[in-house]
Amino acid sequence: MSNVTEVLTALADPTRRHLLERLSIRGEATATALAGDLPISRQAVVQHLAVLDRVGLVRGRRRGREHRFIVRTEPLAETVKWMEKLSQQWDYRLSVIKQIAEASEVHEHATNSSSGQESRESHE
């Protein structure tokens, strides 16, 4: 369900990141316990958990009368892939520059040897 954009949007809020960090440390926790870790109300914690739940970053479980939450890492794995993609975009750009630079050398030799070529706008 979740995609990288939704996950990133959910993580845009520093409080939600903090909340998720605390939950990942606790392993499993109720909203009340999490509210004890953070300078916000239990009600605010519940609202933030709902946002995280929508994008699949947490999941609630009922344990008797308690509603406990755990972190889910699947959506994070997707964002890791996305970060790798950022690096790959630079690899791609560098490879295009490489192609142009290496090809223009060949081109240069070609134009040098055929002097009848019309003069180009700018030569180095």
Partner 1 sequence: MNTDRIEREVVIDAPIERVWSALTQPASVSSWFSNGNKVTIDLREGGVMALDQGDHGAFQTVIVSVSPPNLFSFRWASAYPDVLATEDNSTLVEFTLKATPEGTVLRVVESGFDALEIPADRVQHAGFENHSKGWTGVVAEFVKYVMANQETALFDSP
Q: How far is the CB of 123 from partner 1 (least distance, A)?
A: 10
- Segment interacting with partner 1 (CB under 8 A) among 19-27, 36-44, 45-53, 111-119: 19-27
Q: Is 15 in the site for partner 1 (CB under 8 A)?
A: no
End-to-end CA separation in angstroms for the chain: 54
Q: Is 19 in the site for partner 1 (CB under 8 A)?
A: no
3-state secondary structure (DSSP) of residue 19: helix
41 backbone dihedrals φ, ψ, rounded to 5°: -75, 160
CA distances from 89 to 5, 7, 8, 84, 94 (A): 18, 21, 19, 9, 9
- Segment interacting with partner 1 (CB under 8 A) among 29-37, 40-48, 98-106, 112-120: 98-106
Q: How far is the CB of 121 from partner 1 (least distance, A)?
A: 10
In eight-state DSSP terms, residue 111 is H
Pairwise CA distance, residues 29 & 42, whole Å? 12
Give me the residues that bind partner 1 (CB under 8 A), please: 4-5, 8-9, 11-13, 17, 20-21, 24-25, 27-28, 59, 70-74, 76, 79-80, 82-83, 86-87, 90-91, 93-98, 100-102, 104-105, 108, 124
